[in-house]
Every structure is written in structure tokens, then in C-alpha cells.
Structure 1
Amino acid sequence: MNRFGQGVVIGKFYPPHAGHRHLIAAAAGQCTGLAVVVLASRFESISMENRVKWLAAEFEGSNVTVIGMPDDCPVDYGSRAIWKAHNEVLRLALKMKGITAVDAVFSSEDYGRQLAGDFGAAHVMVDRERMDHPVSGTLCRDDLRAAWADVIGPARQDLAVRIIVVGAESTATTTLAAALTGHYRKSYPDLADVPEYGRQFTYDKFAAAQAADPDAVLTDMVWTAADFAHIGERQNQMENDAADRCPLVIADTDVITTALFERVYIGEQSYGSYLAVERIPRRDLYLITDHEGVPFEDDGWREAEHPRAEMTEWFKEELTAAGASWILVSGTREERLATATEIIDLIIARRNHFTSPPWATRTVLAGR
């Protein structure tokens, strides 16, 4: 039986991490209903909406309700006037969700006792010394790469820098993706390879065709919308798996490419990959490899008449229509790599920079 009816957890969740998850799960297990209130400041560089979304996804299907509330009031634990200002923001956040009474406040901070007293609620301290999960928002913001495994899964998906290399056949997309992966793996040892799944699928499909008919040739293969649906979903999953393990993703193609190849092999009327396109992950930058200056190489798996110039234009059109950021990379291998790394370095630096208001406190864990 639950000890309490309505419980409350408050925090910045900037970003939400394993310690927050432990606190919320411990509180939810002791309450009939738990309200988690994200108090976000305009001076913080992760939006309130994203923090609410990530926590809601983490606790989907549970008794946890996540509420976002802007709170730009300065922090001064010694001022009753400031306490009142914060309490009123919290009270209204709860009131707007129909919560007018609080039975318990759960926290890992000393301020929780004062907050609980102001609301006439019990205070339950959870892992004050951070022994169960030695992580804090401060640690995550100081070194997101080192703390990556402690950031909750939904947040990792959105916080990862995603760089997608796309292009028509034989335009050195794989060459550039491999060069970028090798370059950044020095700083990101967990950086995963995200290859073009469609190529492996082609190998497997042709092997199955030859098993059925030893005289089968590549041009005899019949492609279906179901093939491209499977390729698209698997490409998305490979990319998301890479984001789960590392804050940087370099992918050799994505589901946009799958959809364009479906257009080439089946025609405009085929929509097998459309669901995967609808579920395309958030990404930061596309690098389109230019067909000009790269001679076509027939490796036995490509069609000599593949419309490289037309497909390069399709990529530009599709990504522009989607509102995506893209760069056409041209020139030698060295020039392409230099163009790519210059912008990627800036994107990484921006993603790893967290702003805070001047009154924000830093959580220092024992032994850190």
C-alpha cells in the first residue's frame, strides 16, 4: 500500500539523469500519484519543453505526471520573500493540473524539508549523499561526454550531435563518413559505425535469390515497398542505437536516402519507406557529397546508368523542403573532410555549452 496520496518532486532536471530517475522512481513507488515539476529558467540552454518531454517519455505509463513551469525568480535559501515567490510558482503549477494538496515532498536536497513544511507535507529524503547514483546536473553540464551513460535515454536521443552523410551512388559518401568517424573517434572512443544498411540488405537479398536460383543475376532482383520499409526502419534504429551510446553520431546515409532509392528502383508511386521518414530522428547537419569530380566506380553492385546528377539534386530538394541544414561538400577528400570538421567542431562546442543564471548553485559530490 502507498504511504502517501499525492507526492511532489521538483527540480531543474538540467539535464535529467540517472539520479533524477532514481528519485522519481522511489517517490512514485510510495505515492498514489506523483507530480514532477520542471522549474526552468530562461537563462538555461535546454528548453523546458524538452525536459518535460524527456521525463514524460521515461515514465510513460506510470503514475507520474510531468509539469513544466517557467521560474525566473532568483534563488536565495535565506530569504523568506524569495521562498514565497518560488512556492507560489510551484503552487500554481500544481493548481493548473488540479492538484491543491500535497502529502509528501521527495528530494535529494536539504531545501526539501523547508519546501515540504511550507506545503504542510511530509518530507522524504532520497539518496542525499548520491551513493546510489553518483551523478549530478553539474557533472553532466561540465562534461556531457563523460556523463553520457548517466543521462536518461530520451534526453540522449535529442542531445546527441547527429551528422548525416548522404549522396548519390559512387560519390564518396562512405569514404567521407569513414574519415569523419576516424577523426572524431580520437575524442569519442564510443563513436559507433552507422553504415548504409541498404547495402547489406542488398547483399542478403541477392544471396537469398541465388540460393533459390544459382543462375540469378543482380538485375533480376525485384524490389518491393516492404523492402524499403524494412531498410528505413532499420537505418533509423541503427542511428538511434549509436546516439544511445555516444553524444556524437556520424551516419553513412539515412532514411531520406532510402526513400530516394525507392524512387529510383520502384518509382514515384511507391511509399514503403514513408513511415520511417515520418519517424526520422532529430539531426544537426546533412553533408551531401557532390557527384562532380568523383568518377563513377562500378563495384559490381551499382547500376552504370544510376542518375547521379539527378539524385544529387533530389537530395538538395528534399532536405530544403524538410527545413534541414545541409552543406554540399566538394573537392578532394582532404577538402571535403576539412569543410565537414570545421562546422562539426562548432556544432559540438555549442551543444556542450550550458548556460545558467548567476544565482545557480553547483552540486559538488563527495570525492569529486
Structure 2
Amino acid sequence: MSIGLLMGRFEPLHLGHLQDINIAAGRCDTLHIIVTPSEHQYHTQTLQDKARWVQVACEYFDFIKVHTSDSLELPVTGDYVQGDLPDESMIQQVLAKVATDSADADVITFIKKDTDGKSALVTNEYDKLDIGANPILYFDKLAPSAKSDHVQTVCIVGGESSGKTTLVHKLANHYGATVALEMGRLYTHSDLGGTEVGLQYVDYTAIAVNHARAILDAKKHATAPIVLVDTDFVTTQAFCEEYEGRTHPVVTALADEMCMDHTIYLDNNVKWVADGMRRLGSQKQRSQFATRLLTVLERHGISPYMIDDDDYHQRYLQAVRYIDDHVLRLTHDSVQ
């Protein structure tokens, strides 16, 4: 019987790691993967996050067992890619924890090394990329199980008839991104018969919870480094306060717990378009709601990027430039 040990930080888990896991698993009967702590403060994911990525990727392989240094209650550090594995004493302690029948086993501790031998995992194309320092740039190289924790949410907010939904779909087409649609509008059609005449305070729980599910689903199935979100919980709260005269605790909780990574605010300085659902059409109403929305954004500590150009195409171009520069950190300007 042969036992393999693969100790790594997996920050983040990428396709190169998965190739190494496949190769290592093919060289032993049982492969034990030990996920070790981060050595960089800029990595915000927890040890459990990293273990989940690996576990999900290896879910259907009963010959692969995933552990964390915490679950073993051992101060295991090091990373097989960097070649800085723990000393022999610690390796023996790990073995004693993960494989009680290791006394007569052939033990292989895998390491990244361009040499022959069962323990050597030869350098692949992914090792030459600084994926850990910029996972957004290398989003297509990430393991599918890790993508949802690295995708950036970009939310478009603003008052009624400010062009939010149209801009969201333009940006989705531009970046090939998934979208979380405005849930209030969907809920009005699915549960209220297509108008807001029956909308009341209790409906905001369903609207907010369904929106949270839609955002998580869009992140889980992300096709690009960003997910576009049409209207956030803060905007839903602002509408609740405007229509019902009070805040909603469920909406407040979700606004705090699921804060978007980036928020773009569209000024209400474009033409009002009546669609049979919108109610705040007068200049006074639009101005009043804009003030309320900005107040609620400030209450939740959100400082949005402001777009106040009254030309729709210029709004689109400004949004693209912001996303390229501040989210994706690209250096080109290819849209005119």
C-alpha cells in the first residue's frame, strides 16, 4: 500500500494545482491533501474556504482525503509548489493523524521539482504565472470551485428610470458576465400580477431573500471575473422607506452581510420613461428619492462611483472605464 502527502496553501486553487493532484493521486493508493495557512495578508479567504475548493474539486474521488492543519490540530505550514515543506518530524506527526495504518506503507511526500522520481511533480505552465497575486487577471485559470470566491460584484444603482437595467445588460454583453436581475421588478411580475398596487411591507423579505439567492447563483456560475448586479439591497431599503415609511430589518441585514464589491451610481438626469410600474416620475419625486438613496448608501458605508453624464452611451463608456481601471485593473481603453 502507498500513501501520498500533498501539502499546500492553494492560494487560490487553480488548474495547475488540479493537474498536480491528478498526477499525485495516480502515484499512490490514497492521497492525503493537507491545506496549510496563508503566508500573505492580502489573501482574505479562510483555511476552510481553501479546503472547500479542494474538497469540491475532489468530491468524486474516494481515494483522495482533504484535511486542514487546524483539523489535524498540528502547526503544519509549507507549500509543495514552493518546496518549503515541514521537517521529517512534522511529516511523521501528520502521517500519524491521517493514516493509522502507515507503518508498513510506502509514503510519498510530493514536491514541485523538475527531477525524476515518484515524489516529484514537474513544473507546468501555471507555475510560471503569478495567479495568487492577481486572481482576477487569471480568472480563467482558477479551479471552478474557487471562482465564486474571487469574482467581483459590480452593482448598478440609481433611482427609477435612470437606465440601470439597460446598462447592466450592455456591460454583461461587453464582459461576457452573468447577471443578477432586479428582484423587485421580477417579484412584481411573478407575485403581484405585474403592478405594484398590491406591494406592501411584508413583500420586502421575499424580494431581498430572492435577490440574495440570485446574486449567489450568478457568482457560482460566473463566466467572467465580474458579476453584474441590477440594484442592491440598499436601493431596496430606500424604496421600502419611501413607500412604507420604515426600514426593513431583513433588508438591512443583507445590505450589511452581502455588500457589493463595487457600486456605480447613475444620476437621475436622463429622460423619464413610463413603463406602467414606475411611480416616482415627477422631478420633485426623483430628486427626493435620489437624496434618500444617497443617504441610505452613506448609512451603510458605501461610497459609489458617480456617473452623471446625461448621454446613455457616455454613461456606458464611463462604466466600462471604471470597471477596466478599478475592478479588472486593465491598462487598455478599447471602447469608444
TM-score of the alignment, normalized to the shorter chain, above 0.5: yes
Alpha-carbon displacement from aligned partner over 1:294-323 (angstroms, at most 9, x marks no partner): 243332111246843233233333333434
Alpha carbons of 1:139 and 1:196: their partners in 2 closer, same or farther (altered >3 Å)? same
Structure number with greater CO (CA < 8 Å, separation at least 6) is 1
SS of residue matched to 1:207: coil
Q: Take 2:11 and 2:38, find their aligned partners in 1: how far apart are those partners?
A: 10
Q: Is the 8 A contact 2:204 2:248 kept in 1?
A: no
Q: Take 2:112 and 2:313, find their aligned partners in 1: how far apart are those partners?
A: 52
Q: CA deviation at 1:52?
A: 3.4
1:151 maps to: 143
Residues matched between the structures, number:
299
SS of residue matched to 2:227: strand
1:30 maps to: 30
Alpha-carbon displacement from aligned partner over 1:158-205 (angstroms, at most 9, x marks no partner): 3223221001112222233233334x24xx3xx224321220110122
Q: Take 1:165 and 1:92, find their aligned partners in 2: how far apart are those partners?
A: 54
Q: Take 2:89 and 2:318, find their aligned partners in 1: how far apart are those partners?
A: 47
Instruction: Return 161-170 or 104-113, whichever deviates more.
Output: 104-113
Q: Is the 8 A contact 2:34 2:68 kept in 1?
A: yes
1:284 to 248, 261, 271: 261
2:237 maps to: 259
> Which one-letter code corresponds to 2:51 in the other structure?
A
Alpha carbons of 1:325 and 1:53: their partners in 2 closer, same or farther (altered >3 Å)? farther
1:179 aligns with 2:170: yes
Q: CA deviation at 1:344?
A: 1.2
RMSD (Å), alpha carbons: 4.5
Alignment of 1:161-172 (within 5 A): 161-172=152-163
Q: Take 1:35 and 1:165, find their aligned partners in 2: how far apart are those partners?
A: 40
Alignment of 1:95-110 (within 5 A): 104-107=107-110, 109-110=112-113
Question: Share of identical aligned residues, percent?
Answer: 19
What's the TM-score once normalised by structure 2's chain length?
0.68
2:14 maps to: 17
1:340 aligns with 2:322: no
- In structure 2, runs of 5+ residues without a counterpart are 60-64, 332-336
Instruction: Return 247-256 or 236-245, whichever deviates more.
Output: 236-245
> Which one-letter code corresponds to 1:201 in the other structure?
Y
Q: Is the 8 A contact 2:10 2:35 kept in 1?
A: no
Q: Is the 8 A contact 2:113 2:122 kept in 1?
A: no
1:202 to 176, 180, 188: 188
Alignment of 1:1-368 (within 5 A): 8-20=5-17, 23=21, 26=25, 30=30, 34-38=33-37, 40=39, 47-50=42-45, 52-58=47-53, 59=55, 64-66=67-69, 86-87=84-85, 90-91=86-87, 104-107=107-110, 109-110=112-113, 128=121, 136-138=126-128, 141=131, 148=140, 150-153=142-145, 155-182=146-173, 184-185=174-175, 188=176, 191-207=177-193, 218=195, 220-225=197-202, 227-243=203-219, 244-280=222-258, 283-291=260-268, 293-304=269-280, 307-332=285-310, 333-350=312-329
- In structure 1, runs of 5+ residues without a counterpart are 76-82, 115-122, 209-217, 353-368
Q: Take 2:304 and 2:265, find their aligned partners in 1: how far apart are those partners?
A: 7
> Which one-letter code corresponds to 1:136 in the other structure?
Y
Alpha carbons of 1:34 and 1:193: their partners in 2 closer, same or farther (altered >3 Å)? closer
Q: Is the 8 A contact 2:152 2:226 kept in 1?
A: yes
